[in-house]
Amino acid sequence: MENLSDIKVIKKILSSFGFKFSKSLGQNFIVDSSVCPKMAENSTENKNSGVIEIGPGIGVLTIELAKRFKKVVSVEIDKRLIPILKKTTAEFENVKIINSDILKTDLKKLIETEFKDFDEINVCANLPYYITSEVIMYILENQEIKVNSLVLMIQKEAAERICAQPGSRQSGAISLAVRYYGEPKILFSVNRECFIPMPNVDSCVIKINLKKSNSKIIKDKTRFFKVVKAAFSQRRKNIVNSLGSGLGKSKDEIKNILNSAGINPNFRAEQLTFEDFSKIVDLL
Ligand code: SAM
């Protein structure tokens, strides 16, 4: 089997298929031999489980997943990569390649057909940067599917934001949204030089362990997401102003709610903890 993280091998394969990288599809392929085994290792908890990979490229991570999971289903949007993937993953009978946009893929149907008797499904991907948050929320918000964990390579700044503790300077709406569904953590960082073509940013691999049941302290999910969105829509304003305009309520009304919740109205959204948001939702 050829080493798919060897830059010479990648160039040879791509030129034999006349393939040119597409910037708009976020195509930066891994050229470091340690990254994909480490990602796959961190993704597997049970050898009998299945994994969905998003954007396999030429299959460098796919084959590491195939060695460790019972079944791998890789969803790749770029149809030019399909014949390449068929060739590079040919020796693994447990790999299925699907040519589709992950954001238009019916994940419930995919799981029902491809992972019928599996009791555990994970997601592992070196994500294209342009759809990082959309893909994460697409999977987390889908109530009809149950995945155990997501191991994702994403831009370093996005990783820091997603994994930031609510209440810390780096937190944002995405940090709270992800924490509603699971526990995110940074596993390791990956230098930009580990990719071809080299991107302008560094990356991190994160893991989100999904909660067995969604947050118990948040009673009204729709309202929780509405409050988070309103609070962070005007990050620079204090919470009394951002919530007032975002929720269409008077300053006095919001002040009363914040006082009852014991939250300083002059705080900004990033200073509020998960529990603070929960109290606001209850009091609204
Ligand atoms: N997994 C490979 C690797 O690590 O070298 C490639 C990763 S590259 C950063 C992202 C991959 O996602 C590309 O192969 C790209 O074509 C694919 N992709 C981009 N948008 C996609 C989408 N909406 N659905 C599925 N795949 C997508």
Give, using CA atoms, the residue closest to atom 3 of ligand 1. 29
Strands, E assignment, 31-119? 50-54, 71-76, 95-99
Q: How much distance in Å is there from the Cα of 26 to the middle of ligand 1?
A: 6
- Whole-number Å distance, alpha carbon 158 to ligand 1 midpoint, is 17
Q: In angstroms, what is the span from residue 27 Cα to ligand 1's centroid?
A: 6
For the chain, report the end-to-end CA distance as a whole number of angstroms: 60
Q: What average pLDDT does this structure show over 76-95? A: 97
Q: pLDDT digit string (tens) for 240-282?
A: 999 998 999 999 999 999 999 999 999 999 999 988 999 999 9
Residues with CB under 6 A from ligand 1: 25-30, 54-57, 60-61, 75-78, 81, 101-103, 126, 128, 131
Sequence-distant (≥ 6) Cβ neighbours of residue 97 within 8 angstroms: 56, 74, 76, 82, 85, 86, 89
Atom of ligand 1 nearest to the CA of 27: 8
Domains within the chain, CATH numbers bracketed: 7-210 (3.40.50.150), 221-283 (1.10.8.100)
Say whether pLDDT at 215 is over 90. Answer: no
pLDDT tens per residue across span 93-147: 999 999 999 999 999 999 999 999 898 999 999 999 999 999 999 999 887 788 9
Q: Which atom of ligand 1 is nearest to the CA of 58?
A: 2
Distance 258 CA to ligand 1 centre (A): 44
- CB count within 10 Å of CB 265 equals 17
pTM: 0.92
